[in-house]
Amino acid sequence: MNDLRTQALRELIGELSLAAFADRYDLNASYLSQILNGHRPFGERSARNMEKKIGLPAGSLSTPASTEAADAPDGQVKFLMPARAGELDIPQYDVRAAMGDGQALPSDYIETVRHLTVKKEFLIQQGCVFSKPENLCVITGFGESMSKTFASGDPLIVDRGINSVEVDGVYFFSLDGHLMIKRLQIIAGGVRVISDHEAYPPYDIKGADLELLVVHARVLIAWRSQRL
């Protein structure tokens, strides 16, 4: 695995000099040289730290080599390049971490898209207002209650920096430990949960039940998939 990480790093550096690569990502050129020459181990923790500094999704210097090396020409390692200027690299939201101990994921939750790289200008053109770029994540839509807005399996861009209902909108939340993606509307003394499918009637959350509501993120964009 150490060799795979080193090979992935070598491919990432490409034709840049070590000095130029180190300067671009605020790394130590001598440290990089020691890794590439095999004089310093390149373990899991070191790889994660480097991915974070470069702007790569976690695991990019490790797992892609094992899953895609067989398809790469001339033994080259395929990996995810960091976002370029004007782009936002949006990682996958850790849905499991959002759930409490002993709680299972919804049976229809399937991670169809693990990350997205999009132009920041595109999000602005779509009218997206988000707390911080680093709070953007991608999750997978699940269930049928919102089928008029997105289908189960469609990727959704969410803002995990929004953890309360200040405006009406679509939210990713837990209610008494159950994960949901629905519209939340502010009403007197609470919020109303609204589905976009008439088969799922709305209901209100008020009083002590509000303590059972945990908002994980606000949904900003749904990318609808359609077979052509």
Domain boundaries, the chain: 2-81, 88-222
- The pLDDT-based confidence of 98 (bands split at 50, 70, 90) is low
Residue 140 near residue 183, CB atoms below 8 Å: no
Using CA atoms, how far apart are residues 30 and 39, in angstroms rounded to an integer? 11
pLDDT tens, position by position, 121-145: 889 898 988 998 888 999 988 888 8
Residue 83, pLDDT score: 55
Most confident listed range (55-64, 65-74, 89-98): 89-98
Q: 88-222, what's its fold?
A: Umud Fragment, subunit A (2.10.109)
Handedness of CA 14, 17, 23, 28 (dihedral sign): positive
End-to-end CA distance of the chain: 41
Q: 202 pLDDT exceeds 90?
A: yes
- The side-by-side arrangement of strands in the sheet containing 155-159 is 136-140, 155-159, 213-222, 169-175, 178-187, 190-194, 203-206
Q: How confident is the model at residue 103 (pLDDT cuts 50, 70, 90)?
A: low
Alpha-carbon distance 49 to 62, whole Å? 12
Q: Give the 3-state secondary structure of residue 189.
A: coil
Place 65 in a pLDDT band, splitting at 50, 70 and 90: very low
What is the architecture, at CATH level 2, of domain 2-81? Orthogonal Bundle (1.10)
Q: Is the pTM of this model over 0.75?
A: no
Distance CA 83, CA 94 (A): 20
